[in-house]
């Protein structure tokens, strides 16, 4: 169903038409965009901003429509970032030029409210087409929209559409191209404005919207649906029942990204192992092979392995948002989160960060207020992610060997410490550097809908692609730099070590099994010592030695300092570095490796990890910011290096202080 | 301070005092207790002066329905929104459009 007072599409239409899709949240705007552009859409930040927008193209009747999906906003006149951005975009202050046409979205199931927004779009000096969305849903509710009558009222083309079914979508693109071709007829625009109420007169605006609805909308909505929605809303936002449902939904979400994602993650790990092995087999030994295997493949694998978690998280979040639950969940979490200066919407990103900070930070895009979002990004890495687990396992096993219950409590303590530090840091940030009035919780509660799997898949695909492009650029570059620092300069084996390699080779060619085994063991030992010399002699090792005085108050020697510094690449690197330095990297059994590290000695013969040092190390790893991919992502999401640097300094400084306090308290209590 | 009575002299009460299903009207000046930005946002969401609302769920959050839009309001916002009740009992709602 369509209506337009304009002329049909002519051949003189420009080849590329720039259109901006404008609308309020929950009006089916993004579903319409996805239907129009599908997988051809690209997500990126609007030029000069950190606000995301999606751009896609549609070919229609020989014309290419370049469509920009602007952030949803309740009004163009509001003093909110998303409103300012839409205004700036329409007026050509963002991007290369103003759009040729604006497509204003109006919700068929709630036309009266949408028309207030459409009225604002019509008053802008740009050709406008109205897309009445959610036509299928309106029909199910017994409502119908007469596009011709509405077009006559508005003085512009109106197309009744459904992003879900595709109804009217192609015609809409055609109308947009026509409107762009016709351009803005200034006298007609002035005449049209004269018939529209002014925006500051609420009474006239309300009456005009009601008249438009009365003229163009037929049918009556069923009352029973309202009563059911009332009851479901009351249950989902109730402190007890709402809290219980919220915990259950979050438990399923968390279990999915923590447990279900393990299977594809193991698969990705295996693929990269094979890829590394394949490159190793095909290239001759040398710097290029080392760069490709350890730097590129190893570095990218360490980040791409989190792709399943990110994909699952966004798929499930999209389903929850589409179903209408997420807005109710925000209220359920808001009571608790507000105490720490964060909105209810911050709960999901912080929970997701327990799996990995990368998806957690990406999901902060659900938070509308920029300061709330920034505060959430800043504290998300405090949450104990899976990369910390190997370090927790190592240190807690050392500290509480033979006391499984205490070990369990210590594990919970680590998770609780990270969460508490994060929430308190958020409170501090909101009262200092991110001070300002918190946006009170005023949320539209969209109607409950059957979520669209198609939309969820589109969202997942979009996020996954964005994450991979990030992993393939900045994160890859950082990984290569870190690899170079730990791989160069290459350690040359000493004469004594070379002699042992030669002896090992001679023994392995022996005739008895005993000699071959002895040779193999000697080879492993010599390789381990060479790797140890490489770790300590590399640039990273040298930096470790220089940095040793800074970590000496925490009881770290040069080995622990090197292992701590290399773990800034990724936390789990700590265990592998320490195993190399202690010569246990070939230990297949994790328990035996831990046992050998526990028995490790410093150069002066003292134990490597006494109780105060191990406790300090555990505290440090619980709180420190040791993840370069996360810092790179924070830089991308905030548009500045200022915030990741602040995060690095604050989290690591707090970790150092906490580790220092724990170590010296234990020493004062006589614990050794 | 917002006026405690509407133009017809009927008492205005905070939104938090209404029961489930009760209808009320927002009159001029009823949002005066809220910051300007919040007033603008509420208006843009459809909660504007002279509109009629229905309380879907009282308490925290307070859920109201205006022009087929459900809006959840945190306690402090609902407390500062003064309304004139249209009826006194908790009744069943009918569509406003």
Q: Is the pLDDT of residue A608 over 50?
A: yes
Measured between CA atoms, how close is A591 to chain B, in angstroms?
Answer: 51
Measured in whole angstroms, the distance separating CA B72 from the mean position of its chain's CA atoms is: 11
Determine the 3-state secondary structure of B63 from DSSP.
strand
Q: Does the ipTM surpass 0.90?
A: no
Tell me the average pLDDT across B30-49. 83
The tokens for A581 are: 């330095």
Say if the Cβ atoms of A223 and B61 lie within 8 Å.
no
DSSP run (H or E) holding A652: helix A642-668
Cβ burial, residue A254 (10 Å; 0-12/13-18/19+): middle
CB within 8 Å: A113 and B95: no
Per-residue pLDDT, B30: 80
Comparison of pLDDT for A48 and B78, the residue scoring more: B78
Q: A140 vs A16, A501, B75, CA distance in Å?
A: 37, 79, 34
Do the domain assignments include residue B92?
Answer: no
- The pLDDT value recorded for residue A103 is 95
A195-203 average pLDDT score: 78
- The two tokens of residue A368 are 């509308």
Q: Cβ contacts (< 8 Å) between A113 and chain B: which residues?
A: 45-46, 66-69
Distance CA A473, CA A359 (A): 17
Q: Does A237 sit within 8 Å of B57, measured CB to CB?
A: yes
Q: Is it the case that residue B87 has pLDDT exceeding 70?
A: no
Domain region containing A517: 490-535
> Average pLDDT of A458-467?
82
For A420-462, give the DSSP string.
HHHHHHHHHHHHTTT-SPPPP-EEE-PPP-PPPHHHHHHHHHH
Q: Is residue B91 part of a domain?
A: no
Report if residue B29 sits inside a domain. Answer: yes
The domain boundary, picked from A196, A221, A246, lies at A221
3-state secondary structure of B56: strand
Domain termination site, one of A221, A246, A274? A221
Cα–Cα distance between A222 and A455 in angstroms, integer? 27
**pLDDT band (50, 70, 90) for residue A48:** low
- Mean pLDDT check: name the lowest of A184-193, A439-448, A536-545: A184-193
Helix H, strand E, coil C: the string for A581-631 is: HCCCCCCCCHHHHHHHHHCCECCCCCECCCHHHHHHHHHHHHHCCCEHHHH
Q: Which residues of B touch A447 (CB under 8 A)?
A: 70
Name the region of A409 (left: φ>0; alpha: ψ -120 to 50; beta: rest).
alpha
CATH number at residue B41: 2.30.30.90
Domain assignment present for residue B4? The answer is no
Encode pLDDT of A207-238 as tens digits: 888 888 888 887 665 555 678 888 999 999 98
Q: How many domains does chain B have?
A: 1
Phi, psi of B72, deg, nearest 5: -95, 130
- Pick the residue of A441, A447, A448, A449 with the most B CBs within 10 A to test the interface with B by mutation: A441
Beta carbons of A437 and B35 less than 8 Å apart: yes
Q: Is there a contact between A217 and B70 if contact means CB atoms under 8 Å apart?
A: no
pLDDT at A12: 47
* Spatial separation of the C-alpha atoms in residues A649 and A482, rounded to whole Å: 19
Question: Is residue A475 over pLDDT 70?
Answer: no
A522 and A552 part of one domain = no
Between chain A and chain B, how many beta carbons pairs sit less than 8 Å apart?
A: 124
Could you tell me if A178 and A7 are in contact, meaning their C-beta atoms sit under 8 angstroms apart?
Answer: yes
**Residue B19 in domain:** yes
Domain C-terminal end among A512, A535, A558: A535
Nearest-CA distance from B70 to chain A in Å? 5
Q: Is A55 helix (H, G, I), strand (E, B) or coil?
A: strand
A46 prior amide bond cis, ω within 30: no
Q: What local confidence, expressed as pLDDT, does residue A4 receive?
A: 47
Whether residue A96 lies inside any domain: the answer is yes
A79 CB neighbours in chain B (<8 A) are 37, 40
Q: Evaluate the CA torsion angle A352, A354, A355, A361 in order and state its sign.
A: positive
CA–CA distance, A399 with A534 (Å, rounded to integer): 29
Q: Do B77 and A440 touch (CB under 8 A)?
A: yes
User: Which residues fall within 8 angstroms of residue A636, CB to CB, at 6 or more apart?
Assistant: A470, A474
Q: What is the CATH number of the domain that holds A202?
A: 3.40.50.300
Q: Is residue A48 part of a domain?
A: yes
Give yes or no for residue A374 having a pLDDT over 90: yes
Which residue is it, tokens 């290459």? A490
Asked if A531 and A418 sit in the same domain, the reply is: no
Backbone angles phi, psi at A66, to 5 degrees: -95, 110
pLDDT tens for A90-144 read: 888 776 678 899 999 999 988 888 898 999 998 888 899 999 999 998 888 888 8
Contact of A27 with A58, CB cutoff 8 Å: no
Evaluate whether residue A460 is within a structural domain.
Answer: no
Give the nearest partner residue to B40 out of A78, A234, A328, using CB atoms: A78
Q: Is residue A400 part of a domain?
A: yes
A99 and A130 in a single domain? The answer is: yes
Report which listed range, A313-322, A424-433, B64-73, is most confident. A424-433
Same domain for A51 and A24: yes
Using CB atoms, pick whichever of A80, A237, A440 lies closest to residue B76: A440
Examine the domain organization and report whether A499 and A621 are in the same domain. Answer: no
Over residues A244-264, mean pLDDT: 83
Enumerate the residues of chain A whose CB falls inside 8 A of the CB of residue B56. Answer: 226, 229-230, 233-234
According to the model, what pLDDT value does residue A14 have?
54
**Do residue A515 and residue A656 come from a single domain?**
no
Peptide bond into A571 cis (omega under 30): no
* Selected residue with higher pLDDT from A89 and A184: A89
Q: Decide if pLDDT at A8 tops 50.
A: no
Instruction: Classify A482 as helix, strand or coil.
Output: helix
Counting Cβ atoms within 10 Å, is residue A252 exposed (0-12), middle (13-18) or buried (19+)? exposed
Pairing of strands A101-107, A16-22: parallel
Q: How far is B51 from chain A (nearest CA, A)?
A: 8
pLDDT at A52: 64
pLDDT at A118: 92
Q: Which residues of chain A make contact with B26, given a CB cutoff of 8 A?
A: none
| Nearest residue to A234 via CA among B69, B31, B21, B95 | B21
- Which contiguous run of DSSP H or E holds residue A52? strand A52-60
Residues of chain A contacting residue B41, judged by C-beta atoms under 8 Å apart: 74-75, 78, 80, 442
What confidence tier does A553 reach under pLDDT thresholds 50, 70, 90? very high
pLDDT mean over A553-570: 83
**End-to-end CA distance of chain A, in Å?**
80
Task: Give pLDDT, residue A591.
Answer: 63
- Rounded to the nearest 5°, which phi and psi values hold at A418? -60, -45
Mean pLDDT of all residues in A485-497: 81
Select the highest-mean-pLDDT range: A108-112, A393-397, A615-619.
A615-619
Max avg pLDDT among A185-199, A564-578, A593-607: A185-199
**Chain A residue numbers touching B57 (CB-CB < 8 A):** 230, 233-234, 237
* One domain for residues A589 and A623: yes
Question: Token pair for residue A572?
Answer: 């789990």
The number of domains in chain A is 3
Contact B71 A442 (CB under 8 A): yes
Task: Answer whether residue A38 shows pLDDT above 80.
Answer: no
CA dist., res. A592 & res. A423, Å (int): 37
- A328 vs B contacts (CB less than 8 Å): 72
Q: Which residues on adjacent β-strands are paired with residue A479?
A: none
Supply the DSSP string of A396-420, one letter for each residue: HHHHTTT-HHHHHHHHHHHHHHHHH
- The CA distance from A509 to A511, in Å, is 7
Min Cα distance B67 → chain A (Å) is 7
Q: Which residues does A39 contact at the CB level (< 8 Å), separation at least 6? A: A458, A461
A478 versus A326: which is more confidently predicted? A326
Query: With the CA atoms of A418, A423, A429 and A430 taken in that order, what torsion angle do they form, in degrees rounded to the nearest 10?
Result: 170
The per-residue pLDDT for A47 is: 57
pLDDT tens digits, one per residue of A569-599: 767 677 766 666 665 545 555 566 677 777 7
Q: CB A80 to CB B63 under 8 A?
A: no
Residues A637 and A587 in one domain: yes
Weakest mean pLDDT among A19-28, A453-462, A484-493:
A484-493
Cα separations in angstroms, A106 against A95, A129, A635: 25, 11, 36
Q: Nearest CB to A334: which of B45, B66, B74? A: B74
DSSP 8-state code for residue B64 = E
**Which pLDDT does position A508 carry in this prediction?**
82
Confidence class for position A401, pLDDT limits 50, 70, 90: confident
Contacts 24+ apart (CB under 8 A), A243-251: A243/A332, A245/A332, A246/A329, A246/A332, A246/A333, A249/A320, A249/A325, A249/A329, A250/A347, A250/A348, A250/A351
Confidence category of residue A382, pLDDT binned at 50, 70, 90: very high
Residue A19 and residue A67 in one domain: yes
Tokens of A417: 């410490």
- Specify if A286 maps to a domain: no
Given this model, what pLDDT does residue B24 score?
93
Query: CB distance B48–A206 less than 8 Å?
Result: yes
Same domain for A631 and A497, yes or no, is: no
**Euclidean distance between CA atoms B26 and B47, whole angstroms:** 8
Give the dihedral of Cα atoms A646, A647, A649, A651; nearest 10 deg. 150
pLDDT-derived band at A254 (thresholds 50, 70, 90) equals: confident
**Residue of A222 and A169 predicted with greater confidence:** A169
Q: Output the pLDDT for position B90.
A: 43
**Tokens encoding A486:** 């730990």
Task: Please say if the pLDDT value at position A426 is more than 90.
Answer: yes
Residues of the domain holding B49 = 13-85
In this complex, do B77 and A442 lie within 8 Å of one another by their Cβ atoms?
yes
Do A634 and A506 reside in the same domain of the chain? no
**Candidates A202, A206, A441; nearest CB to B72:** A441
What's the pLDDT at B71?
Answer: 93
Residues 6 or more apart from A204 whose CB is under 8 A from it?
A197, A198
Residue A565 maps to a domain: yes
Smallest CA-to-CA distance from A316 within A234, A397, A249 is with A249
């Amino acid at each position: 169903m369509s209506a337009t007072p304009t002329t049909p599409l002519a051949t003189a239409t420009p080849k590329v038409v720039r259109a901006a899709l404008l609308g309020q949240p929950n009006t089916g705007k993004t579903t319409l965009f996805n239907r129009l552009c599908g997988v051809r859409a690209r997500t990126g930040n609007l030029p000069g901003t950190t606000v995301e927008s999606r751009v896609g193209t549609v070919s229609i009747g020989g014309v290419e429509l370049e469509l920009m999906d602007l952030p949803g906003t309740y009004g163009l006149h509001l003093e909110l970032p998303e409103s300012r951005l839409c205004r700036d975009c329409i007026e050509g202050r963002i991007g290369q030029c103003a759009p040729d046409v604006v497509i204003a979205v109006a919700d068929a199931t709630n036309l009266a409210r949408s028309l207030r927004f459409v009225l604002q779009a019509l008053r802008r000096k740009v050709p406008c087409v109205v897309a009445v969305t959610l036509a299928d849903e309106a029909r199910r509710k017994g409502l119908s929209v007469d596009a011709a009558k509405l077009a006559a009222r508005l003085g512009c083309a109106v197309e009744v559409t459904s992003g879900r079914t595709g109804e009217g979508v192609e015609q809409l693109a055609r109308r947009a191209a026509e409107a762009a071709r016709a351009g803005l007829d200034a006298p007609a625009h002035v005449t049209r404005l004269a018939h529209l109420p002014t925006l500051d007169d609420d009474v006239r605006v309300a009456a005009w919207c009601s008249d438009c609805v009365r003229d163009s909308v037929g049918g009556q909505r069923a009352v029973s649906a309202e009563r059911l929605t009332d009851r479901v809303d009351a249950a989902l936002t109730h402190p007890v029942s709402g809290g219980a449902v919220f915990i259950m939904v979050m438990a399923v979400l968390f279990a999915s990204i923590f447990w279900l994602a393990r299977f594809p993650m193991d698969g990705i790990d295996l693929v990269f192992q094979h890829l590394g092995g394949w490159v190793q087999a095909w290239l001759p030994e040398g710097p290029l092979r080392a760069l490709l295997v350890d730097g590129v493949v190893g570095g990218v694998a360490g980040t791409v392995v989190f792709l399943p978690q990110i994909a699952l998280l966004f798929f499930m979040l999209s389903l929850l948002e589409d179903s209408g639950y997420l807005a109710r969940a925000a209220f359920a979490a808001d009571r608790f989160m507000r105490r720490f200066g964060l909105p209810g919407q911050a709960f999901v990103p912080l929970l997701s960060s327990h799996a990995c900070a990368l998806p957690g930070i990406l999901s902060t895009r659900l938070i509308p207020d920029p300061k709330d979002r920034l505060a959430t990004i800043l504290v998300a890495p405090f949450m104990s992610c899976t990369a910390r687990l190997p370090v927790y396992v190592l240190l807690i096993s050392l500290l509480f060997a033979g006391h499984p219950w205490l070990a369990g409590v210590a594990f919970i303590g680590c998770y609780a410490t990270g969460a508490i530090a994060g929430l308190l840091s958020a409170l501090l940030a909101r009262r200092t550097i991110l001070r300002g009035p918190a946006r009170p919780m005023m949320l539209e509660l969209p109607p409950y809908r059957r979520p669209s799997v198609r939309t969820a898949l589109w969202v997942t695909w979009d996020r996954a692609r964005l994450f991979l492009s990030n992993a393939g650029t900045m994160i890859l570059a950082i990984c290569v730099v870190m690899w170079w620092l730990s791989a160069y300069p290459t350690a040359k084996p000493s004469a004594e070590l070379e002699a042992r390699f030669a002896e090992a080779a001679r023994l392995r060619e022996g005739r008895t099994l005993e000699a071959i085994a002895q040779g193999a063991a000697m080879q492993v030992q010599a390789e381990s010592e060479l790797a140890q010399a490489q770790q300590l002699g590399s640039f990273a090792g040298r930096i470790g030695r220089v940095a040793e005085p800074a970590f000496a108050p925490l009881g770290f020697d040069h080995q622990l300092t090197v292992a701590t510094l290399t773990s800034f690449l990724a936390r789990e690197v700590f265990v592998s570095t320490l195993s190399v330095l202690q010569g246990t990297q070939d230990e297949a059994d994790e328990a035996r490796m831990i046992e050998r590290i526990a028995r490790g000695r410093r150069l002066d013969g003292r134990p490597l990890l006494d109780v105060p040092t191990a406790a300090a190390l555990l505290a440090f790893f619980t709180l420190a910011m040791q993840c370069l991919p996360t810092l790179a992502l924070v830089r991308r999401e905030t548009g500045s290096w200022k915030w990741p640097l602040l995060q690095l300094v604050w989290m690591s400084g707090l970790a150092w202080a906490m580790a220092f306090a724990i170590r010296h308290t234990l020493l004062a209590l006589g614990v050794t | 301070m917002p006026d405690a009575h509407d133009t017809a002299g009927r008492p205005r009460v905070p939104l938090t005092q209404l029961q489930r299903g009760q209808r009320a009207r927002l009159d001029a000046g009823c949002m005066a207790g809220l910051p300007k930005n919040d007033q603008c946002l509420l208006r843009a969401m459809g909660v504007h002066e002279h509109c009629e609302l229905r309380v879907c769920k009282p308490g925290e959050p307070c859920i109201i329905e205006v022009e087929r839009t459900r809006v959840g309001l945190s306690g402090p916002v609902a407390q500062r929104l003064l309304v004139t009740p249209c009826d006194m009992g908790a009744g069943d709602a009918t569509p406003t459009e």
